[in-house]
Amino acid sequence: MIGNWWGFRIRLPQGYVASPLTKAELLAFFGNISAWLQCAWLTWLVLGPAPHPDRVFRHEVMTPVLIASAAIAMALLIPASLMERTWAAARFVYARESGQIRRIDHIILVLTVVAGGVALWKRPLHWPAIVTLLGTVIAVEIVLAFVQERLVFDTRHEPLPVPGWLSQIDVTEDGGIVQGEPGAQKQYPFRVGEVLHHIGVAIGEELLASLREINARFQGRLFHDQALAVILADRDPVLRIGKDEVLRLAAQVFAIGKQTTMTRFALANAVLTFVQEQIRYAFDEESTTSFAGGPFPEYGRFALETMNDGVGDCDCTAILTATLLSHIGFDTALIFLSFHDPETNEICHHAAVGLSTADLFVAAEQAFDAFTFEGRGNDRRRYLYGETAVEGTTLAFGSVPAEWKSTLDIYKIVAIPRWTTA
């Protein structure tokens, strides 16, 4: 569902019910609005005609006080039912859950100080009133800073929905988050903000050999024709080989998201960032020389192969990302595309991952790089583009690398449903 609020478009997930706005949140929202209005009033005093000396107090002091008082009154007195009848509530909830509101007051404060300095230069005789006005704005900003530091605007108030297969599994351990298995060959750091958690599962030699054998049988191209088998591992020719390990790995990732109260969008981006940062990029011909039957000119690793090897090209990282997302409750996709490489002046083929917008609280489609999947009948879905093969940086969902964005050609999108049955 798309909502409009003064020209701003927001996408509400199907069946979404937002947590009601609290009085503290409304105070922060209206406080920010009042600070913007006060900054605008100060700018008008700088640019507009000089007020009559007898009206200085009324114009330059009483106005910001009245604006601040009106904001407090609106936050405390406006009934919730009135907010729900307008798109103001939806806009405020979007600001809360997308993190837009956080520290916006810093921008207001800088603009106000600049405008105040210019006002003192242009209206030196009115310095007591201007200083009083600046003090009022700064006081409002101090209150806002105090309130906003105690409100989490970039985290949903509702719990992260638990995938069906995980509902019977305890994803905590001794009151904390389930970390990587002790027997795992590699423990990878999974970053949430500045905090590092660790994930990893034990991948036996026999299991790894089985996955390698299946991939070699299809010359490493199984993901081209049977992407669902590679990612979901619940059908021929995989038939649950490595499925238990994938589920344990997904449970670790979901536990991190749940215990740190992340939004769905934030959790999806955390998975994408994890793959971008932890899996080293290498061409298949270079990284499969030790494989039986190798090296392979193209080899789309299973997720467990990539976790074991710690290396892969765009196919491997896209498969790993889609595998994790699918098992923690996201509808995702493999995106096959081509683009013109400005360095080699050649057309290159590439793979990326898509994230369905159906259950995300995100901005309008124009705000992201996204592509439409046209399936059978009325099956039409929108996927945010996710680039998994980047070096030295990270890109969130909805960002196509700028250097070849203009030559991008999507020639195939394979929809991957969230995995729901154990």
Q: So where are the chain's domains?
A: 2-148, 164-416
Give the pLDDT of residue 104: 59
Q: Are 370 and 385 in contact (CB under 8 A)?
A: yes
Task: Kindly report the pTM of this predicted structure.
Answer: 0.72
Tell me phi and psi for residue 132, to 5 degrees. -60, -40
Q: What angle do CA 27, 32, 36 make, to 5 degrees?
A: 145
> Can you tell me the distance from the alpha carbon of 382 to that of 373, in angstroms, rounded to the nearest whole number?
6
Fill in the amino acid letter for 106: H
Q: Are 26 and 75 in contact (CB under 8 A)?
A: yes
Give the pLDDT of residue 7: 42
Order of strands across the sheet with 380-386?
370-374, 380-386, 346-356, 332-341, 409-416
* Residues in the chain, pLDDT under 70: 1-20, 45-61, 80, 84-91, 93-109, 112, 125-126, 128-129, 133, 137, 140-141, 143-159, 168-178, 363-367, 422
C-alpha 187: how far from chain center: 24
Q: Which H or E element spans position 319?
A: helix 314-327
Give the pLDDT of residue 269: 92
Give the pLDDT of residue 270: 93
Give the pLDDT of residue 1: 43
